[in-house]
Structure 1
Amino acid sequence: MILDLFRLDGKTAIVTGAGRGLGAAIAVGFAQAGADVVISARTADDLESVAGAIRDAGRKPLAIAADLSVAEPNLLVDAAIEEFGRLDVLVNNVGGAMPKPLADTRGKDLDRAFHFNVTVAHEILVAAVPHLLANPDGGSVINITSAVGRLPGRGYAAYGTVKAALAHYTRLAALDLNPRIRVNAIAPGAILTSALDYVASNDDMRGAIEKLTPLQRLGRPDEIAAAALYLASPAGSYLTGSVLQVDGGLLQPNFDLPIPDL
Structure 2
Amino acid sequence: MTLAVDLSGRVALVTGGTRGIGRGITLALLEAGAAVVTCSRSDGEAVPGSSHVVCDVRDPEAFGSLVRSVVDERGRLDVLVNNAGGAPAADAATASPRFHEKVVGLNLLAPLACAQAANAVMQQQDAGGAIVNISSVSAARPAPTIAAYAAAKAGLDSLTTSLAMEWAPRVRVNAIDVGLCRTEQTDDHYGDDASVAAIERTIPLGRMARPEEVGAVAAFLASDLASYVSGATVACHGGGEPPAFLLVSKGLT
TM-score (norm 1): 0.87
The letter for the 2-side match of 1:12 is V
Q: 1: distance between equivalents of 2:210 and 2:174?
A: 20
The letter for the 2-side match of 1:2 is T
Q: Name the counterpart of 1:63.
A: 52
User: Is residue 2:10 matched to residue 1:3?
Assistant: no
Per-residue deviation, 1:63:
1.4
User: Is residue 2:192 matched to residue 1:202?
Assistant: yes
Q: 2: distance between equivalents of 1:207 and 1:154?
A: 22
Q: Name the counterpart of 1:57.
A: none
Q: Name the counterpart of 1:216.
A: 206
Report the more deviating stretch, 102-111 or 86-95: 102-111
Q: 2: distance between equivalents of 1:47 and 1:84?
A: 21
Gaps of 5+ in 1: 55-60, 255-262
Q: 2: distance between equivalents of 1:178 and 1:188?
A: 25
CA contact (8 A) 2:55 2:66 kept: no
Q: 2: distance between equivalents of 1:133 and 1:70?
A: 22
Q: 1: distance between equivalents of 2:94 and 2:88?
A: 12
Q: 2: distance between equivalents of 1:153 and 1:127?
A: 31
Per-residue deviation, 1:86:
0.3
Per-residue deviation, 1:201:
6.5
Q: Name the counterpart of 2:99.
A: 109
Q: What pairs with 1:8-157 in structure 2 (closer than 5 Å)?
A: 8-44=7-43, 46-48=44-46, 50=47, 53-54=48-49, 61-70=50-59, 72=61, 73-157=63-147
Aligned to 2:150, the other structure's residue is in SS state helix
Aligned to 1:119, the other structure's residue is in SS state helix
CA contact (8 A) 2:27 2:212 kept: no
Q: 2: distance between equivalents of 1:155 and 1:204?
A: 22
Q: 2: distance between equivalents of 1:69 and 1:21?
A: 20
Q: 2: distance between equivalents of 1:107 and 1:134?
A: 39
Per-residue deviation, 1:22:
1.1
Per-residue deviation, 1:99:
1.4
Q: Name the counterpart of 1:260.
A: none
The letter for the 2-side match of 1:67 is D
From 165, 172, 175, the equivalent of 1:175 is 165
The letter for the 1-side match of 2:82 is N
Q: 2: distance between equivalents of 1:14 and 1:103?
A: 37
Q: Deviations over 1:83-116 (max 9, x none)?
A: 1010100000011111112212232222111111
CA contact (8 A) 1:18 1:47 kept: no
Report the more deviating stretch, 193-202 or 95-104: 193-202
Two-structure CA RMSD over aligned residues (Å): 1.9
Gaps of 5+ in 2: 245-253
CA contact (8 A) 2:60 2:113 kept: no
Aligned to 2:131, the other structure's residue is in SS state strand
